[in-house]
């Protein structure tokens, strides 16, 4: 039996009887400290549209298909089955497979009863002439219906022939989400990126993104949308990004 | 805006769910609950961990005593709560309420 057929049978026949919802996201670009319940299973689809206008106009729509699994009370694992993107620029137009990845999140403390909720995040991404390593500290505090979240992310990328091209990034992200009702939340997200081409800070590239988010959840599914604009006008970086995450549990 | 929201959210109704105490257990037993200390502790742990995977934690005073079992039951599949765990969450919520 082909592997693809086995996966389809597993996802649509077996999992509905053994699993449940993994949880809803309040943010599009920021991770939250709570991890999924043990035994939960969720499929998330991400769509991110990014428009760059400097030095020339181009559009990229990237897709992520992710399976999220609650392993224990504190450990959550995710598999990015495929990250791929469609690009439309003056020099190129078409779809490209980018990578697949494994993501692990370990929860340390709770954002409601502890002074601050903390989780550790580790991601390994492998693609065509690409290896990426990403670590993240996730902090969160819940004040009643208000969620404040902070992520500090360190990312290292090796790519190209022989993986000789190197790039690093440090990112800080801060977000707030206010629950208007148990189903609807609205908020703000703020990203501050430090890019290190060839692991060097000679170019001193800094990006800032800021914008609103909205999240809606109902029964076993949720959708979260975040729109970010870049006020820093860094060349070759998106001027605008719109991310939608649609997740559902079985 | 956030400062204003902070202040509003720190009112008593949104205070973190209290730890289980012997007074809470005694008040719960007076209301004819069959809960014990371990059950209430497990209920609190599950309440503060599982419920916030989808939404923020509602104050235990938001809904009536007779509404809570149905509310927890309706979300138990989504939060992977087994029947005994569901019972523990409800027992904890009702125990907190029984103190007033």
Q: Is the pLDDT of residue A17 over 60?
A: no
Q: Which residues of A touch B81 (CB under 8 A)?
A: 37
Percent of chain A whose predicted confidence (pLDDT) is above 70: 91
Q: Which helix (H) or strand (E) holds B45?
A: helix B37-50
The predicted structure's pLDDT at residue B4: 47
Contact partners, residue A61, CB within 8 Å, separation at least 6? A47, A48, A49, A50, A85, A86
How far is C-alpha A27 from the geometric centre of its chain's CA atoms?
9
CA A243 and chain centroid, separation: 9
**Prediction pTM value:** 0.89
Answer yes or no: is pLDDT of A38 > 80: yes
Within 8 A of A22 by CB-CB distance, chain B residues are 53
Q: Measured between alpha carbons, how far is A174 from A151 in angstroms, rounded to an integer?
A: 7
- What pLDDT is recorded for position A9? 55
HSE, side-chain direction, 13 A CA sphere, residue A113 = 16
Can you give the pLDDT at residue A50? 97
- CA-to-CA dists, residue A15 to A5, A7, A69, A217, A221, angstroms: 14, 10, 11, 21, 16
Domain limits, chain B:
2-98
Q: Between A35, A178, A249, which is nearest B5 by CB? A: A178
The nearest CA of chain A is from the CA of B58 a distance in Å of 7
Confidence band of A14 (pLDDT split at 50, 70, 90): low
Residue B69 has pLDDT above 70, yes or no: yes
Are A244 and A47 spatial neighbours (Cβ–Cβ below 8 Å)?
Answer: yes
Is the predicted pLDDT of residue A10 greater than 70, yes or no? no
pLDDT band, residue B10 (cuts 50/70/90): very low
Would the pLDDT of A11 be above 80? no
The residue ranges of DSSP E strands in A53-129, in sequence order, are 58-70, 75-89, 92-107, 117-127
Angle at alpha carbon of residue A45, lines to A14 and A131, rounded to 5°: 100
**B31-60 per-position pLDDT tens digit:** 777 889 999 999 999 999 999 999 999 999
Interchain proximity A144–B17, CB inside 8 Å: no
Would the pLDDT of A117 be above 70?
yes
- Backbone torsions φ then ψ of B4, nearest 5 degrees: -60, -40
CB distance A71 to A106 below 8 Å: no
Task: Supply the mean pLDDT for chain A.
Answer: 91
**Structure token pair of residue B18:** 């209290």
Query: With an 8 Å Cβ cutoff, is A238 touching chain B?
Result: no
User: A199 or A152: which carries more pLDDT confidence?
Assistant: A152
Give the tens place of pLDDT for each residue, B19-39: 999 989 888 877 777 889 999
CA distance A23 to A248: 9
In angstroms, what separates the C-alpha of A182 from chain B's closest C-alpha?
6
Task: Tell me what pLDDT residue A55 has.
Answer: 84
pLDDT tens by residue, A191-220: 999 999 989 888 888 999 999 999 999 988
**Residue A161 in this model has a pLDDT that exceeds 60:** yes
Q: Is the pLDDT of residue A189 over 90?
A: yes
For A178, other C-beta atoms within 10 Å of its C-beta total 20
| Cross-chain residue pair A111–B16, CB shorter than 8 Å | no
User: Which of A6 and A156 is assigned the larger pLDDT?
Assistant: A156
Q: Specify the pLDDT at position A2.
A: 58
Other CB atoms within 10 A of residue A181 CB: 9
At residue B12, the pLDDT reads: 52
> Residue B34 has what pLDDT?
82
**Which structural domains are found in chain A, ordered by start?**
3-249 (2.40.160.40)
State the nearest Cα–Cα gap between B3 and chain A, in angstroms.
11
How much is the pLDDT for B14? Answer: 80
Q: Which chain A residue's Cα is nearest to B60?
A: A144
A20 pLDDT band, cuts 50/70/90, is low
User: Under a CB-based contact definition with an 8 Å cutoff, are residues A234 and A203 in contact?
Assistant: no
Q: What is the pLDDT of residues A127-150, one digit of tens each?
A: 989 999 999 999 999 999 999 999
- Which pLDDT score, from 0 to 100, does residue B37 have? 92
**Residues in chain A closer than 8 A to B96 (CB atoms):** none
Q: What is the pLDDT of residue A244?
A: 98
A51-to-A44, A82, A111, A210, B8 alpha-carbon distances in Å: 23, 22, 35, 15, 38
Tokens of A174: 């801060």
**pLDDT tens string A53-92:** 988 899 999 999 999 999 999 999 999 998 999 999 888 8
**In terms of CA atoms, which chain B residue is nearest residue A249?**
B78
Judged by a CB distance cut-off of 8 A, whether residue A176 touches chain B is: yes
What are the phi and psi torsion angles at B95 (to 5°)? -65, -40
Q: How close B57 comes to chain A (CA, Å)?
A: 7
Contact partners, residue B71, CB within 8 Å, separation at least 6: B63
Decide if pLDDT at B6 tops 90.
no
């Amino acid at each position: 039996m082909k592997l693809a057929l086995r996966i389809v049978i597993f996802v649509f026949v077996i999992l509905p009887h053994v699993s449940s919802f993994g949880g809803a996201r309040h943010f599009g670009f920021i991770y939250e400290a709570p991890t999924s319940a043990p035994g939960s299973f969720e499929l998330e689809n991400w769509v991110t549209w990014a428009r760059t206008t400097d030095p020339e106009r181009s559009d990229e729509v990237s897709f992520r298909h992710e399976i999220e699994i609650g392993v224990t009370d504190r450990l959550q694992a995710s598999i990015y089955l495929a990250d791929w993107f469609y690009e439309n620029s003056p020099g190129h137009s078409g779809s490209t497979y980018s990578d697949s990845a494994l993501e692990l999140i370990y929860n340390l403390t709770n954002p409601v009863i502890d002074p601050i909720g903390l989780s550790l995040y580790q991601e390994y991404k492998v693609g065509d002439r690409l290896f990426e390593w990403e670590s993240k500290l996730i902090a969160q505090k819940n004040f009643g219906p208000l969620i404040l979240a902070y992520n500090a992310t360190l990312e290292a990328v090796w790519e190209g022939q022989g993986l000789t091209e190197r790039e690093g990034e440090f990112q800080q992200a801060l977000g707030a989400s206010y629950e208007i009702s148990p189903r609807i939340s609205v908020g703000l997200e703020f990203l501050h990126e430090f890019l290190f081409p060839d692991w060097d800070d000679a170019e001193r590239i800094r990006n800032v993104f800021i914008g609103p988010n909205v999240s809606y959840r109902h029964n076993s599914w949720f959708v979260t949308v975040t729109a970010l604009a870049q006020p820093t006008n860094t060349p070759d970086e998106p001027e605008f990004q719109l991310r939608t995450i649609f997740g559902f549990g079985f | 805006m956030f400062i204003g929201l902070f202040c509003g959210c720190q009112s008593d109704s949104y205070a973190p769910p209290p730890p289980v105490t012997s007074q809470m257990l005694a008040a719960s037993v007076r209301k004819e609950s069959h809960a014990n200390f371990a059950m209430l502790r497990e209920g609190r742990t599950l309440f503060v961990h599982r419920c916030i995977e989808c939404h923020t934690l509602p104050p235990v005073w938001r809904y009536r005593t007779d509404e809570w079992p149905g509310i927890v039951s309706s979300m138990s599949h989504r939060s992977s709560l087994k029947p005994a765990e569901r019972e523990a969450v409800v027992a904890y919520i009702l125990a907190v309420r029984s103190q007033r």
